[in-house]
Amino acid sequence: MEVHILAKAFISLAFVGFLGLFLRLYSALVAEPRRLRSKLKKQGISGPPPSFLLGNIGEIKKARTAKVKDVPTGCPPTTHDCAVVLFPFFEKWRKLYGTWECKLYRIKLARPDLVTGLEARSGLSPQRRWRAKFGQVFMFSLGNIQILHVNQPDMVREITTCTSLDLGKPSYQQKERGALLGQGILTSNGTVWAHQRKIIAPELYMDKVKGMMNMITESANTMLESWKSRIEAGGGIADIKIDQDMRSFSGDVISRACFGSNFSKGEEIFKKLRALQEAASKKVLFQWSSRLEASSHETQQGHVGPRKGGPHTHPPGGEAEEPKPQNPEWQERVRTEVLEVCGGRVPDDYMIRKMKQLNMVINESLRLYPPVAVVSREALTDMKFGDIHVPKGVNLWTLVVTLHTDPENWGPDSLTFNPDRFANGITGACKLPHLYMPFGVGPRVCLGQNLAMVELKLLIALVVSNFSFSLSPEYVHAPFLQLVIEPEHGVNLLVKKL
């Protein structure tokens, strides 16, 4: 009898436990996403219809596979349009699901013949017509995460400069990247983040970075020496895959700055961090979605990977070709400037600031290939941006790659590598300078910006004054998202000593 009662109690407990679990799962995976979407929908925001549990991951995967087949690849690169390679689905969604300001665009898709008259009669100001044309606010879902895509200029300003602790880094990043980043400054929020930022920021002020210049030069020299010996061994020219050298250089600088040790001691740490980064990037929803079926990734590799015996292999005999620089004019302009400013001396802080051409080239490279492709936030409580009430739990995504190449802001040559556009600084380069954000903007702006710029300038200045280089035929242009935008197959350069 007692056993019978115990069994009944156990079954009841198990049932209650199961019911509780079911309700929790139902709320997290179905009810809550539905509630958030409905709140946004009531405000006129639309988006691609999500499928059960996966949201829009299936459509993303399909769009990426299809687009990757269309994108021209090869060496030299035929397009600098990163957005079209990495986020082809956004292009479609932007056109289809802009907010109320985008109704004209929807009509355009259905009745192109009506558009001119409608646009003329709409009475929209040129700025509103721009927004109408590039309807930048729509929603989509990655699994149970609801995301508001916001590239509308005023809202982007409001979001990126928002100082409230109620707007933070998305909680899915903490879960996915926890192994790599812990509760560190990049993913933490609230007072934990504020405390870390207060401690770290002063260590990376320009005055501190100036004091690191000798150390950066030492790290750069280690790389230059290794290139020199590889060139000598190659009989005057070497085909160098520079990726690992770049990682070793920046790892060495951080090692010396943080631990006072050289890179050989920090090497183990950086190898492990790299392995963690690769593992973590596979878990990021975008990567995860593109790897759900290996075929989609294999398609990419089969399409863009180096072809044995094809046009990207060396000629028989294994000799590297004579370098043909991709932007010879710019390499020469930077070299001339470095020689003029430095006169053969190691660049110091004053010289670094005087190198205008070099600054323009770096700005233009970061415009076309911003390592951080998306700036993302989560509303940690109900918030309002522009006219939109953003419910707690909704994520906000600003597509930096798209903003950086919008022809409305940058002109018709927005996809061309043209450092001259930065001749009068960022304000002279585009209509809305706040939309140029390779280092982010506002309270979470990159803390390492000064260090990164000084490292880049010093390294490039030393490289151009010692070597000439061009893209190797081994190089295949394939931007790839691995937490940050990276060249999928690395960067091979043909390098010669000057």
Residues forming the site for ligand HEM (CB under 6 A): 185-186, 197, 371-372, 375, 438-440, 444, 446-448, 451-452
Smaller CB distance to ligand HEM: residue 152 or 189? 189
> Minimal distance in Å, beta carbon 379 to ligand HEM?
15
- Calculate the alpha carbon distances from 362 to 171, 240, 421, 454, 460 in Å: 32, 21, 12, 11, 10
- Identity (one letter) of the amino acid at 333? R
> Minimal distance in Å, beta carbon 435 to ligand HEM?
13
Q: How far is CA 49 from the centre of its chain?
A: 26
Instruction: Extract the annotated binding site.
Output: 446
CA 138/CA 45 separation, integer angstroms:
6
- Calculate the alpha carbon distances from 490 to 96, 242, 279, 421 in Å: 35, 8, 18, 28
Dihedrals φ, ψ of 274, to 5°? Answer: -65, -45
Q: Is 6 in a helix, a strand, or coil?
A: helix
> Minimal distance in Å, beta carbon 446 to ligand HEM?
3
Smaller CB distance to ligand HEM: residue 352 or 447? 447
Q: Is 475 in a helix, a strand, or coil?
A: coil
Smaller CB distance to ligand HEM: residue 97 or 436? 436
Smaller CB distance to ligand HEM: residue 32 or 349? 349
> Minimal distance in Å, beta carbon 448 to ligand HEM?
2
Smaller CB distance to ligand HEM: residue 137 or 185? 185
Could you tell me if 305 and 449 are in contact, meaning their C-beta atoms sit under 8 angstroms apart? no
> Looking at beta carbons, which residue is closest to ligand HEM?
448
* Of 461, 215, 243, residue with least CA distance to 362: 461
Q: What is the DSSP secondary-structure string of 246-306?
A: HHHHHHHHHHHHHHS--HHHHHHHHHHHHHHHHHHHHHSHHHHHHTSSHHHHHHHHHHHSP
How many other CB atoms are there within 10 angstroms of residue 246's CB atom? Answer: 14
> Minimal distance in Å, beta carbon 437 to ligand HEM?
7
Instruction: Extract the annotated binding site for heme.
Output: 446
> Minimal distance in Å, beta carbon 122 to ligand HEM?
35
* Of 164, 188, 148, residue with least CA distance to 381: 164
> Minimal distance in Å, beta carbon 182 to ligand HEM?
13
Smaller CB distance to ligand HEM: residue 234 or 442? 442
Smaller CB distance to ligand HEM: residue 57 or 185? 185
Smaller CB distance to ligand HEM: residue 132 or 361? 361
CA 133/CA 320 separation, integer angstroms:
48
Both structure tokens of 427? 């304000």
Both structure tokens of 271? 């190898």
> Minimal distance in Å, beta carbon 131 to ligand HEM?
23
CA 55/CA 142 separation, integer angstroms:
5
Both structure tokens of 419? 């450092």
CA 70/CA 88 separation, integer angstroms:
11
CA 265/CA 255 separation, integer angstroms:
8
Both structure tokens of 184? 């560190």
